[in-house]
Amino acid sequence: MPRVFSGIQPTGDLHLGNLLGAVRNWVQDQHDADSFYCIVDLHALTVPKAPGEVGAFSLEMAQTLLACGLDPDVCTLFVQSHVSEHAELAWLVQCVTAMGELNRMTQFKDKSARQGGKQDLVSVGLYTYPALQAADILLYDTDRVPVGEDQRQHIELTRDVAERFNARYGETFVLPEATIPRAGARVMDLQEPTDKMSKSATSDAGVVYLMDDLAVTAKKFKRAVTDSDGTVAFDPVAKPGVSNLLSILGAATGRSPEDLADEYSQYGPLKVDTADAVVALLEPIQARFRELVEDPAATNELLAIGAEKARAVAADVYDRAVRNVGLLPRPVL
């Protein structure tokens, strides 16, 4: 079975775009691959966080992912900081990564610009973030990394530094490949259908959060922006709002948006059916989430098992890297 690895930052409140564009692929992948899913809490620290915030969001993210269908009997779900080899390998990776490479990373440029580009506010951690991400991936002899298009550059960098490491120290790391979901998996904002649904949107009216009250969810769909042309067709360029509804309805029901378009002649029923389909998708997720929140110890226990499974792989790969670099072997204490 191929090895799959992906990571998600422990930020609060996943939305429908995260579910349909990322988490659902993870849930499907877990049956076809040996999958490792990591809550990357160390990455979250690269921008300022209040004490305790990252830990609380890590638990909530684990509960959300479990509620969405990740099965800890099938995949390995764990928290990055629980497996210390991530930070340790990140150092070795940083030592074969060029500043010039990190300077070219668009995520760093965007995120540092958002902090006003002020050198004294932008952390060194934000700068070396891609080296930690490369370490995450390389520690598991990963074949495939399911990520969004925005992460392609980081996976390319991971391949480059792995090749360099292998050339310098001998065959050590497997070269991973990014698997990017097809364009249809992009969920757009319900109010600004030419923008990606994102929690940094200026208004929440177009963003469907997984844990929103379901009456609010239905209302957001009823108020979704369409157009004044009055015909239902799947044409994301000419009819972004209607096409987004068709895509979401298709993703929620397993049908193609083109086929669905043929079944509607008016926007009203399309909105109602899309709202109903999303509510039906989210209802069991919310119910399961509520159960998990009642019993945080149960999730912590699953994360402990996940960390142990992850460490069993990561420790071997880390040892291999240290051996190939040729550090003096650690004394057995």
Residue 187 interface partner, choices ligand AMP, ligand TRP, none, CB cut-off 5-8 Å depending on type: ligand AMP
Is residue 222 annotated as part of the catalytic site, yes or no?
no
Reduced to 3 states (helix: H, G, I; strand: E, B; else coil), residue 107 is helix
Residue 306 interface partner, choices ligand TRP, ligand AMP, none, CB cut-off 5-8 Å depending on type: none
Cβ distance to ligand TRP smaller for residue 24 or 43: 43
Residue 186 interface partner, choices ligand TRP, ligand AMP, none, CB cut-off 5-8 Å depending on type: ligand AMP
The two structure tokens encoding residue 26: 């993870």
Cβ distance to ligand AMP smaller for residue 174 or 185: 185
Catalytic residue, chosen from 49, 109, 118, 199, is 199
Q: In what order do the strands lie in the sheet with 144-146?
A: 76-79, 34-39, 3-8, 144-146, 177-179
Catalytic residue, chosen from 49, 111, 219, 309, is 111
Binding site for ligand TRP (CB under 6 A): 5-7, 9, 40, 43, 133, 136-137, 145, 147, 151, 154
- 14-41 core/surface letters (b: 16 or more CB in 10 A; e: else): bbbbbbbbbbbbbbebbeebbbbbbbbb
Q: Give the shortest CB-49-to-ligand AMP separation in angstroms.
A: 15
Residue 18 interface partner, choices ligand AMP, ligand TRP, none, CB cut-off 5-8 Å depending on type: ligand AMP
Cβ distance to ligand AMP smaller for residue 135 or 190: 190
Is residue 239 annotated as part of the catalytic site, yes or no?
no
Residue 133 interface partner, choices ligand AMP, ligand TRP, none, CB cut-off 5-8 Å depending on type: ligand TRP
Q: Give the shortest CB-51-to-ligand TRP separation in angstroms.
A: 22
Binding site for ligand AMP (CB under 6 A): 8, 17-18, 21-22, 147-148, 185-187, 196-198
Is residue 49 annotated as part of the catalytic site, yes or no?
no
Dihedral (C-alpha) 101, 104, 108, 113: value to the nearest 10 degrees?
140
Question: The tokens 């958002």 sit on which residue?
Answer: 114
Q: Give the shortest CB-59-to-ligand TRP separation in angstroms.
A: 18
Query: What DSSP designation does 183 have?
Result: G
Where would I find the H helices in the chain? Answer: 16-18, 24-29, 41-44, 53-67, 85-94, 99-103, 106-114, 124-138, 152-169, 214-222, 240-253, 257-262, 267-294, 296-325
Distance CA 216, CA 213 (A): 5
Question: The tokens 């074949």 sit on which residue?
Answer: 143
List residues with catalytic annotation.
Answer: 111, 196, 199
